[in-house]
Amino acid sequence: MQPPESSMRDDGQKQASPVQNRRKVPMASRSESFATLTLRSLLSNRLAVIGVILVALVFILSIFAPLFAPFDPSAIDIRNILVGPGFAHPLGTDDLGRDVLSRMLWGGRVSLEVGFVAVGIATIIGMILGSLAGFYGGWIDSAIMRAVDIMLSIPTIFLVLAVIAILEPSIINIMIVIGLTSWMEPARLIRAEFISIKEREFVLAARAIGAADNRIMLRHILPNGLSPILVSATMGIGAAILIESALSFLGLGVQPPTPSWGSLLSAGKDNIEIAWWLSAFPGLAILLTVLGYNLLGEGIRDALDPRQRE
Amino acid sequence: MLTYIVKRTLLMIPILFGITVLSFAVMRLAPGGPAEAQMEFSSRASAEARERLRKLYGADQPFHKQYATWLKKFVTLDFGTAFADGRLVKDKILERLPITLTINALSLGLVLLIAIPIGIMSATRQYSLIDRFTTMFVFIGFSTPSFWLALLLIYAFGVQWGLLPISGLHSLDTTGLSRWGKLMDESRHLILPVFVSAFGGLAGFSRYVRNNMLEVMRQDYIRTARAKGLPEGSVVYKHALRNAIMPVITILGLVLPSLIGGSAIMEQVFGIPGMGQLMFQAVLSRDYNLAMGILVPAAFLTMAGNFLADIGYAFADPRIRLR
């Protein structure tokens, strides 16, 4: 029962979100660059800072998983099956006696990989199609936008399931499938940017001195229209991690013995009556990671909006 | 208005076509069609038998012919039979639809009942404690995997406290129960699924109501209403709410498909025999007829929902018609 996200999030751009509105952004001196200003604005927003911390924390823990993990994530120990959290195993063990903390640390790598690559694919497809649609208009625009409508009409999860059933589940295929089913939002955003930017004076000037279409698109319009893409990509990472964990939960995602948060939860479901820790911790990791990217994305959106800088 | 509706309707035709082609292609591209699936059970079947089956299912025809045959049947609402048990796809869908529909209608009702007051409250008391609390709740709601929430609730209410049943639609043995008892039994089974499917929507809807409310509260006519000394309640509920709620009503059109769609993951967690689970099984067993019989109507409904929402907007806001 989710209302469509686009309708939910669009309005964030129209109006300042109240919490951020109140913060006092120090008056910028002339010499400060746009990036510095944006960063400062981001860091003075409490929710965004929480987001940055969460994102950084998950990053560090996953990258240094081999250092932090107390056990080999796939070492089976049949004498310690489903042991609760304690001294030896801080977050307990799973149904094969594997250390849950170690599996979660390694699983974080999988989630981040899937999140970043899937969003990368979606963003590249979306940027190419959105730019073409917005720049050329006419039948090219109509054709691309109808394709967007078609993709948005088919329930994503079913499309993903169907394609995974064809391709066999593997990390690479999951990245591709999530990427191929989530390029519509970036495409729409980039198209809107192109439509508004292409009529500006500097683009007309570039055109007047005879710049080629692709130069105008790549050098003049695209760099000026990247802000909404940055926001949607940041939040998209969270969304991709959610889809990956759902697929792994259903057994169609990352395959054993590779650890993943979703498949840990799946084991948690099977042992819900005897091992609460198997369900609780991996889900909390997903929640905090996705929350981090959502807060960061919202923070970037507010920080990039110059209307909110006094 | 009429021109707008006609224009909008014509736009749907290529989308309709695209939906059917894309879903058909995705389902047919799968290696191992229904013939192969049936053969897996009898490995000794001869090559001729295999070929006969392929012919029976039309799998020997080129793609565009298969598509044409399927489309011809589909427009007469003939969805064919499910490969798994040979029953009519229509029957299989119709026996599952009420279950999913009940759960989703209840959870939508719950969402609206809670989200609208929350949205109004956090908009009228912007920056207050309750507004900040709901902002945080919205972010957490967006970030929570629904199946994890389901697991936690199952553990707390079902395992730990033993208050609610954790899976299925009714208890195993309901023979001794009266009609009222059976109804009570079923409602107890529905509490957790309805709550979990409402949870995600709650965050989104309350945010949406709040943003609309804030937008309206900044309008000049609200200032006018205040200036002429109307009580605050009348300003909020009569002048502001009526205008803020309109987009919320039209957005209901967009929710239409999820009313019948059901969630494969949720139904899997709670063991509910609904549409999501049926689709999940159909896709995994490559049951084309069944999967297409669910996928395509669901996609059509999504489109129809968008259409209704757009018409609703145009009806509410005359400026849109001119575009």
Residue of higher predicted confidence among B185 and A188: A188
> Is A162 in CB contact (< 8 Å) with chain B?
yes
Q: Determine the distance in angstroms separating the CA of A33 from the nearest CA of chain B, rounded to an integer.
A: 30
Least confident of A61-65, A105-109, B30-34: B30-34
With a cut of 50, say whether residue A125 has pLDDT above it. Answer: yes
- Residues 262-281, chain A: which have Cβ within 8 Å of B? 265, 268-269, 272-273, 276, 279-280
With a cut of 70, say whether residue A103 has pLDDT above it. Answer: yes
Q: Are A102 and A70 in contact (CB under 8 A)?
A: yes
Distance of alpha carbon A174 from alpha carbon A243, whole angstroms: 9
**CB within 8 Å: B127 and A19:** yes
* Residue length of chain B: 323
Residue with tokens 């007829």: B289
Q: What is the pLDDT of residues B106-115, one digit of tens each?
A: 988 998 899 8
Q: Determine the distance in angstroms separating the CA of B291 from the nearest CA of chain A, rounded to an integer.
A: 9
Chain A partners within 8 Å of B197 (Cβ) = 1
Q: Which among A14, A163, A269 has the least Cβ separation from residue B26? A: A163
Exposed e or buried b for every residue in B282-296, given b needs 16+ CB within 10 A?
bbbbbbbbbbbbbbb
Region B292-312: mean pLDDT is 83
Which one-letter amino acid corresponds to residue B47? A
Q: Are A267 and A95 in contact (CB under 8 A)?
A: yes
Cα within 13 Å of Cα(A246), Cβ side = 27
Helices B179-217 + B129-143 axis angle, to 10: 120
Q: Which of B66, B58, B4 is nearest to B310 (CA)?
A: B4
Residues whose CB is less than 8 angstroms from the CB of residue B203 and which lie 6 or more positions away in sequence, other chains included: B137, B138, B139, B140, B141, B142
> Is A250 in CB contact (< 8 Å) with chain B?
yes
- Report the pLDDT value the prediction gives residue A53, as an integer from 0 to 100: 95
- Residues 177-236, chain A: which have Cβ within 8 Å of B? none
Report how many Cβ contacts below 8 Å link chain A to chain B: 179
Distance of alpha carbon A165 from alpha carbon A177, whole angstroms: 11
Chain A partners within 8 Å of B279 (Cβ) = 158, 161
Residues whose CB is less than 8 angstroms from the CB of residue B263 and which lie 6 or more positions away in sequence, other chains included: A157, B146, B197, B276
Distance of alpha carbon A128 from alpha carbon A218, whole angstroms: 10
- Report the pLDDT value the prediction gives residue A286, as an integer from 0 to 100: 95
Q: Determine the distance in angstroms separating the CA of A63 from the nearest CA of chain B, rounded to an integer.
A: 22
Hey, which residues does B88 pair with through a beta bridge? B81
Residue of higher predicted confidence among B197 and A289: A289
Chain A partners within 8 Å of B149 (Cβ) = 283
Distance of alpha carbon A69 from alpha carbon A183, whole angstroms: 35
Q: Which long-range contacts (CB under 8 A, 24 or more apart) does B35-44 make?
A: B35/B59, B37/B83, B37/B285, B37/B286, B38/B83
Region A231-243: mean pLDDT is 93
Phi and psi, residue B139, nearest 5°: -65, -45
Chain A partners within 8 Å of B257 (Cβ) = 155
**CB within 8 Å: A165 and B286:** yes
With a cut of 60, say whether residue B38 has pLDDT above it. Answer: no
Q: How far is CA B312 from CA A8, B108, B246, B252, in A?
A: 17, 19, 9, 10
Supply angle C-alpha A120, A124, A129, rounded to 5.
150
Q: Environment class of residue B52 by beta-carbon count within 10 Å: exposed (0-12), middle (13-18) or buried (19+)? A: middle
Distance of alpha carbon A282 from alpha carbon A276, whole angstroms: 11
Which one-letter amino acid corresponds to residue A47? L
> Is B113 in CB contact (< 8 Å) with chain A?
no
ipTM attached to this prediction: 0.82
Region B213-237: mean pLDDT is 88
Percent of chain A at pLDDT > 70 equals 88
Q: Which residue of A has its CA nearest to B205?
A: A3
Confidence tier at B265 by pLDDT (50, 70, 90): confident
Confidence tier at B96 by pLDDT (50, 70, 90): confident
> Is B292 in CB contact (< 8 Å) with chain A?
no
Hey, which residues does B81 pair with through a beta bridge? B88
Token digits of residue A215: 């130069």
Q: What is the pLDDT of residues A47-92, one digit of tens each?
A: 899 999 999 999 999 999 888 888 888 778 778 778 788 888 888 8
> Is A161 in CB contact (< 8 Å) with chain B?
yes
Least confident of A49-53, A134-138, A249-253, B262-266: B262-266
With a cut of 50, say whether residue A11 has pLDDT above it. Answer: no
Residue with tokens 């427009």: B75
- Report the pLDDT value the prediction gives residue B81, as an integer from 0 to 100: 81
Token digits of residue A163: 């394609």
Residues whose CB is less than 8 angstroms from the CB of residue A307 and which lie 6 or more positions away in sequence, other chains included: A16
- Residues 147-186, chain B: which have Cβ within 8 Å of A? 147-149, 151-152, 154-155, 159, 166
Region B265-280: mean pLDDT is 86
For chain B, what is the mean pLDDT?
Answer: 81
Confidence tier at B264 by pLDDT (50, 70, 90): confident
Chain A partners within 8 Å of B213 (Cβ) = none
Omega within 30 of 0 (cis) for the link into A257: yes
Taking the mean position of all CA atoms in its chain, how far away is CA A193? 21
Q: Are A217 and A137 in contact (CB under 8 A)?
A: no
> Is A310 in CB contact (< 8 Å) with chain B?
no
- Report the pLDDT value the prediction gives residue A226, as an integer from 0 to 100: 87
CB count within 10 Å of CB A239 equals 24
* Residue length of chain A: 310
- Report the pLDDT value the prediction gives residue A5, as an integer from 0 to 100: 46
**CB within 8 Å: A47 and B147:** no
> Is B126 in CB contact (< 8 Å) with chain A?
yes
Distance of alpha carbon A52 from alpha carbon A262, whole angstroms: 23
Q: Where do runs of H (alpha helix) occur along A17-155?
A: 18-21, 34-43, 46-63, 65-68, 100-136, 138-153
CB count within 10 Å of CB B50 equals 14
Residue with tokens 């007047």: A208
- Report the pLDDT value the prediction gives residue A10, as an integer from 0 to 100: 40
Residue with tokens 């209840």: B106
Q: Environment class of residue B243 by beta-carbon count within 10 Å: exposed (0-12), middle (13-18) or buried (19+)? A: middle
Q: What is the pLDDT of residues A15-57, one digit of tens each?
A: 444 444 444 455 545 567 777 888 888 888 888 999 999 999 9
Q: Are A105 and A68 in contact (CB under 8 A)?
A: yes
B148, B270, B292: best to mutate for the A interface, most A CBs within 10 A: B148
Chain A partners within 8 Å of B112 (Cβ) = none
Q: Which of A300, A226, A237, A288 is nearest to A12 (CA)?
A: A300
Distance of alpha carbon A101 from alpha carbon A91, whole angstroms: 5
Distance of alpha carbon B318 from alpha carbon A88, whole angstroms: 67
Token digits of residue B1: 């208005």
Region B203-210: mean pLDDT is 86
Q: Which residue of A has its CA nearest to B29?
A: A166
Residue of higher predicted confidence among A1 and B216: B216
CB count within 10 Å of CB A25 equals 15
Token digits of residue A49: 């800072």
Q: What is the pLDDT of residues B122-167, one digit of tens each?
A: 888 888 888 888 888 888 988 999 889 999 998 888 888 888 887 7
B283, B286, B288, B323: best to mutate for the A interface, most A CBs within 10 A: B283
Q: Determine the distance in angstroms separating the CA of A4 from the nearest CA of chain B, rounded to an integer.
A: 7
Chain A partners within 8 Å of B135 (Cβ) = 17-19, 47
What is the pTM assigned to this prediction?
0.84
Distance of alpha carbon B147 from alpha carbon A247, whole angstroms: 11
**Region of residue A8 (phi > 0: left; psi between -120 and 50: alpha; otherwise: beta):** alpha
Region A233-251: mean pLDDT is 91
- Report the pLDDT value the prediction gives residue A54, as an integer from 0 to 100: 95
SS3 content of chain B, % helix, strand, coil (to 5): 75, 0, 20
SS3 content of chain A, % helix, strand, coil (to 5): 70, 0, 25
- Report the pLDDT value the prediction gives residue A7, as an integer from 0 to 100: 42
Least confident of A209-223, B12-26, B160-174: B160-174
> Is B37 in CB contact (< 8 Å) with chain A?
no
Q: Are A92 and A277 in contact (CB under 8 A)?
A: yes
With a cut of 50, say whether residue A12 has pLDDT above it. Answer: no
Phi and psi, residue A97, nearest 5°: 80, 15
- Report the pLDDT value the prediction gives residue A268, as an integer from 0 to 100: 85
Chain A partners within 8 Å of B268 (Cβ) = 250
Q: Are B15 and A142 in contact (CB under 8 A)?
A: no
